[in-house]
Structure 1
Amino acid sequence: MGQQRTVATTLTRAVTERIGASLAGVDAELARRYPGDPGTRQPVHTVYVPADALTADTPRSWGDQALAALDAHAPDAGAFAAVLGIPDDLAGPVHARVRAKLEREPVEDLRIDFEDGYGPRPDDEEDAAAGRAAELVARACADGTATPYVGIRMKCLEAAVRERGVRTLDVFLTALMDAGGLPGGLVLTLPKVSYAEQVAAMARLAEEFEKARGLESGRLRFEIQIETTQAVLGADGRATVARMIDAAEGRVTSLHYGTFDYSAACGVGAAQQSLAHPAADHAKAVMQVAAAGTGVRLSDGSTNVLPVGPTPRVHDAWRLHHRLVRRSLERAYYQGWDMHPGHLPTRYAAVYAFYREGLEATAARLAAYVARSGGEVLDEPATARALSGHLLRGLDCGAVDAAEVAGLTGLSRADLDRLAGRAG
C-alpha cells in the first residue's frame, strides 16, 4: 500500500465560512420559495359543474353517462382504440382501466361553479345555492361518496362582483364548518386574476376566516386561474404570475390556464381558440417557469367541442379531446378541465396510454440508475426525479399498479417518493 498523499489547499476555513454566511439569506430564500413537489396526489382533471346543476349524484351521473357513450359509440376495446389511434398492445389494458375508472371514480376533482357557468343571480338565490352546495359536499364526505377533491369557483375580486364573490365564499365555508368541518380535499378557485394584489387579498380573506373559526394558519389554500393577459405579463413588462405566487404567501396550490378568456383577451378568433394555439403555449410556458420548484402545480384548460350527436361527430370530438390531452401531458401539464361527461373516456384513455406505453422503458432506466448499472442511457439525478415522478403520477391515477412498478423496478412507493424528491 502506498502512502496517502496530502491534499494541499490555499483557502482558509474562515474564507469558506464567510462565503457561507454571505449566502445564508439566499439559502433561506431558496428554501422558502422553492420547496419542491408537495408529495401529494394531483388530480388528472377538474370537472366543472354550474352550481344550479349540482346534485348529490353528479359524479355518479357523469360516470354513467360516460359509460353509456362508450357503449353507444365504441362498444369494445378494438373500436375505442381504432377511434383514438391507441396501439394494439395497449388497446385492451387501456379500455379495461377506463371502464373500471368510470365505474369506480369517474370524477377526481369537482368544481362547483359560481362564476361564468353560473352567472349573475339575485343575492338570495346565490346565497341559497352556496349553502346548498356546502350541504351536498358535507353529505357526500359523510357517506363516502365525495370526489377526492371538491370545492367552488367563486366570482373574482374585481370591483363589479367583489362583494358577491366574497359573500359566496363565506357562505360556503361557513356552512361547511357548521356541518362538521372542512373536507381534506377542499379546493377553492379564484378566477380572472390580473394583479398580485388580488391574490394577496384572497390570502387575507383566507387568514381572516381561519382566525374567526379557530382554524390553523394556512388551512385554506386556493388555485389561481390564469385567464387575463395581465396575469402573464404586467404593464411593466415583467411576468406577473411569479409575483402572484409570492403574494399568496404559500397559499397557492395550482395555476389553471383559462383557454377561452385568455384567447379572447389576446384577440384570437372564436374558431381558433384552443389549448394548442401559440398564444396559449406562450402563457403556459410562462406559468410553467414561474411555478417550477415552488410546489405550485399546473392545469391546462378545456375544449368546448362536446362529444354529442351521431357517432361520427362523437368520434371527431373524441379524437380532438384525446389529442389535446395527450399534447398537454407531453408538455408536463398533467391536469386539465373537462366540461362534459363525454370527455371522461378520452381523458382517461389519453392519461392511461401515456403512462403505460413507456412503463417498461421508464422502469428499466430508473432501476439501472439505482443500481448504477449504466444501461443504454446515462441518467442524472434530475432525470431520476423525472422518471420516478412519472411512475408516481401513473400510480396515483390508476394507470399502473404498485405491484407492476415494484416488479419492474424493485422499488417501493417510499423509494419512488424519495427519488422524486417528494415528502412522501
Structure 2
Amino acid sequence: MEAAGRLPADVYARIDARLAEADARVAAQYPGEPAGRQPVHTVYVPAHRYHVGLVAEWQEQALAVLAEHGDALGAEPDVLERVRAKLAEQPIEDLRIDFEDGYGHPGDDAEDADAVRAARELGCATPFVGIRFKSFEALTRHRGIRTLDLFLGALGDPPPGFVVTLPKVTAIEQVSAAAEVLGELEKAHGLASGSLQFEVQIETAQSVLAADGTVALPRIVRAADGRCSGLHFGTYDYSAALGISGAYQSMDHPAADFAKQFMQLATAGTGVRLSDGSTNRLPVGDADAVRGAWAEHLRLVRRSLERGFYQGWDLHPHQLPSRFAATYAFFRDGLPAAAGRLRDYVRRTEGGVLDEPATASALATYLLRGLDCGAVDHAEVATLTGLDRAALDRLARRLP
C-alpha cells in the first residue's frame, strides 16, 4: 500500500515556484568541476626571452640537471623514471609569455615588436599556452590592451588551451573591463564569442578584501562574466603588499595561506581552477645549492598539493625535475588508498572508511589528475578500481 502524505500538491508547486530563481542562479554560478585537464604548473618566461626553441632548451637543461643531481630528489626509482620520461616528452605543460613584471617597460616600439614576434613564433609545443599582459590600472591599461590586440592579430586562431592572465587587480571594475575588452577583441579578430578566457592573479590586498570590507574574490569571479578560468596566487607581490619583509615572503607564510583559503572558498563549485604561486629560490650553482633549492621546492609543491592547490608556477628549467618529482610522488603515494576507497564506494563494499558522494567525486578527480599528468597509468587505475576513464569522469562530475 502506497503511503499518503498530508500536504496538498499546491504546497510542492508553491515551493518549487518560490525557489525557481534561486535554483537557476545556483546552477549557473556553481556548475561544479569542469571537464578537461588542469596543468600541474605554469612556466613564466619574459617575452623578450621567448623564442621558438625555448621549450627544447628548457627540456635540455632540465634533463641535464636531473642526470647530474637526480639522486638529490630522494625519489623512488619508478618516480624518477617517470620524471625522466615526462621531461623527455612534455617538459612544460603550461607556458605563459610574460609582458608584465618579468618583461618590464622597454618602450612601446619594443613591446609592439615583441608582441608580434612572440605570436608568430608561438607553436604548439605545450598543451596550454598564453600571455600575461600588463594590468588594467591607469598607468598600464592602454599598453596592456594594445599588447593583447597586436598579439592576437599576429597569432590568428588561438591554439587549444590558450588563456591570458590579468595581473594586479586593485578594483573589481578592472575585471569586468577586461571581460569587455576580450569580447571586443573577439569581434575585431573574428573569434568565436566567449572563446577568450582569462586568469586573474590574486596578488594585491584589494583582490582579497575590497575597500568596503567585503570579500572581493567571489565578486571578481562574477565580474568576469563567465570568462574567468582560474585564480593564480602571486606570492611575492601579495606578501610585499602586506608589508612582509623579503626574507619571510614565502608560499607557506600564514598571510599567504589566509588568502589562498579564501580563494578556495570563493571558487568552490564554480568551475574556476586555482594555482599556487612560485618559490624564487632557484636550483642553480653547486651541488649543495641545487640540493637545497630542490628540497625546498619539493616541500612546497607537496604542501600545496595536500592543501588542494594542484597547479603552481615554475620560473627556471631546473625547477621542472622537482615539480614533477613532488607531483608524481603525491599521486603515487595516495594511489592504493584512493583507488581502494573508490572501488568500495562503487561496489557498496563495507570497508574501513564510509565515504559520501562528494568524497567519491574528489577521489575520482584525484585519480584523473594523476592520469593526466603521467603520475599513474590507465591500466593500473583500472585494475585497482575496476573503472575506466569514462566512469571516473562521471563520478568526478557526479553524473549518473
TM-score (norm 1): 0.93
1:47 aligns with one of 43, 46, 55 = 43
Match of 1:163 in 2: 142
State how 1:89-168 maps to structure 2 within 5 Å: 91-137=76-122, 140-141=123-124, 146-168=125-147
Match of 1:174 in 2: 153
4+ residue segments displaced more than 4 Å: none
Distance 2:301 2:376 in 1: 18
Q: Tell me how far 1:106 sits from its aligned partner.
A: 0.2
Distance 1:325 1:94 in 2: 15
Q: 2:230 aligns to what SS in structure 1? A: strand
Distance 1:161 1:98 in 2: 40
**1:223–1:423 distance in 2 versus 1, CA, 3 Å:** farther
Match of 2:292 in 1: 316
* Structure 1 residues 91-118: Cα deviation after superposition (integer angstroms, max 9, x where no partner): 0110000000000000000000000000
Distance 1:373 1:183 in 2: 45
Q: Tell me how far 1:55 sits from its aligned partner.
A: 1.5
Q: Tell me how far 1:213 sits from its aligned partner.
A: 2.8
Match of 1:332 in 2: 308
Match of 2:355 in 1: 379
Equivalent AA in structure 2 for residue 262 of structure 1: Y
* Structure 1 residues 14-60: Cα deviation after superposition (integer angstroms, max 9, x where no partner): 10010000000000000110011111100000001000111111111
Distance 2:136 2:154 in 1: 21
Structure 2: where are the runs of 5+ without partners? none
Note if 1:398 corresponds to 2:374.
Answer: yes
Distance 1:103 1:355 in 2: 20
Distance 2:297 2:5 in 1: 61
* Structure 1 residues 202-257: Cα deviation after superposition (integer angstroms, max 9, x where no partner): 10011111122332221011000000000000111111011010001100000000
Note if 1:366 corresponds to 2:342.
Answer: yes
Match of 2:275 in 1: 299
* Structure 1 residues 369-414: Cα deviation after superposition (integer angstroms, max 9, x where no partner): 0000121111110110011000000001000011111111110101
Structure 1: where are the runs of 5+ without partners? none
* Structure 1 residues 44-86: Cα deviation after superposition (integer angstroms, max 9, x where no partner): 0000100011111111111110111112223xxxx2453xxx4
1:29 aligns with one of 15, 25, 29 = 25
Q: 1:276 aligns to what SS in structure 2? A: coil
Match of 1:412 in 2: 388
Match of 2:175 in 1: 199
Distance 1:97 1:185 in 2: 24
Conserved 8 A contact 2:73-2:294: no
TM-score (norm 2): 0.98
Match of 1:69 in 2: 65
Note if 1:56 corresponds to 2:52.
Answer: yes
**1:317–1:423 distance in 2 versus 1, CA, 3 Å:** farther
Match of 1:17 in 2: 13
The RMSD of aligned alpha carbons is 1.2
Distance 1:408 1:80 in 2: 31
